[in-house]
Amino acid sequence: MMKNNLDENGGVGIAVIITMIITTVLVGGGVYVWQTQSQKVLSLGLQKQVLDLRQQVNNLQQQVGQTGNNTVGQDMSFEQSVNKVNNNIVKTDDFKNDDWKLYINKEYGYSIKYPKNWLLKEMSEPALFDESIQVKNIILRSANSDDYYMLQLGIKKSEERDVVLSNRTGVGAGVMEKGKMALGKYSVEVGLLKNSTTNKIIDIVGKEVPIDNKYMALINFSYFGTNSTGDTNFDITKAKEYKIAKEILSTFKFNN
């Protein structure tokens, strides 16, 4: 009888223990699952916050771009349209005189600035000495039609044998000496025609000389009027127009 009670009590105890073990496993597993799911939810929440913050930053950047950078956007669009037309962009701040006119030569890819009160003519015509050869240059002259100074600039490619840069056929009497004039960043050789008596420079005569290993350049600067006739004090380099001519030449640049 006592043995049966013990067996029964032992069985009950074992059942209780097994129940407790199962309960513990179930509770522990539930806690583990709950923790895992909580971490996933937390992780997703953090990811959403990060995405929301990124979107806010992007929105702010777009707002700044629309309010503060409108001018820049318009400038870029304008430069692109100029580039499409001229194949080159020329910025006026690169020049000394912002109120000067800008000449762009598309054929040879250069630009130059000149005063508003000077006249510019682009030449492309048969040469006087051979009509099969083309003269190509630009002529700039001071405004006075009766008494003026003329600056002639010619640029061509070195391999062009059918193009010349001047139609000039001769020079006046005097002593010719070598000189140089600055054309943008380049130095161009010229002839200085001097009065044989006073040794003053009365004319600057150009000849075709190589620049940048790809081009030929020529510069003439002359006076057309009555002041130099018999005037022993005349010196073309002392005229204010000569200083202007030098400043014009200093604005020269290739656009590529």
Whether the pLDDT of residue 9 is over 80: the answer is: no
40 and 148 inside one domain: no
Predicted local confidence at residue 229, as pLDDT: 61
Q: Does residue 130 belong to any structural domain of this protein?
A: yes
Q: How many CB atoms lie within 10 A of CB 163?
A: 19
Q: How many CB atoms lie within 10 A of CB 112?
A: 26
Q: Are strands 175-183 and 201-206 parallel, antiparallel or unpaired?
A: unpaired
Domains in the chain: how many in total?
2
Q: Does residue 170 belong to any structural domain of this protein?
A: yes
62 and 100 inside one domain: no
* pLDDT tens sequence across 227-253: 766 677 889 999 999 999 999 999 999
Q: Does residue 78 belong to any structural domain of this protein?
A: no
Q: Does residue 115 belong to any structural domain of this protein?
A: yes
Give SS3 for 89.
coil
Q: Does residue 75 belong to any structural domain of this protein?
A: no
Q: Does residue 225 belong to any structural domain of this protein?
A: yes
12: tokens are 């009950």
Q: What DSSP string runs through 130-146?
A: -TTSEEEEEEEE-S-SS
131 and 219 inside one domain: yes
149 and 228 inside one domain: yes
97 and 208 inside one domain: yes
CATH number of domain containing 190: 3.40.1000
Predicted local confidence at residue 233, as pLDDT: 81
Name the pLDDT band for 130 (thresholds 50, 70, 90): confident
Whether the pLDDT of residue 121 is over 80: the answer is: yes
10 Å CB burial of residue 168 (0-12, 13-18, 19+) is: middle
Please give the average per-residue pLDDT across 17-29, as a whole number. Answer: 55
Yes or no: say if 137 and 166 are a contact pair by the CB < 8 Å rule.
Answer: yes
Choose among 95, 94, 112: nearest CA to 103: 112
Name the pLDDT band for 6 (thresholds 50, 70, 90): very low
- Listed in sequence order, the residues at least 6 apart from 83 whose beta carbon sits closer than 8 Å to its beta carbon are 89
111 and 225 inside one domain: yes
Q: Does residue 209 belong to any structural domain of this protein?
A: yes
231 and 142 inside one domain: yes
* pLDDT tens sequence across 86-112: 333 333 344 457 789 999 999 999 999
* pLDDT tens sequence across 191-225: 999 988 888 999 999 989 999 889 999 999 999 88
* pLDDT tens sequence across 61-77: 555 444 444 333 334 34
42 and 159 inside one domain: no
Q: Distance (Å, rounded) from C-alpha 81 to C-alpha 54? A: 35
Q: Does residue 77 belong to any structural domain of this protein?
A: no
Please give the average per-residue pLDDT across 14-41, as a whole number. Answer: 53
Domain of 49? 1-68
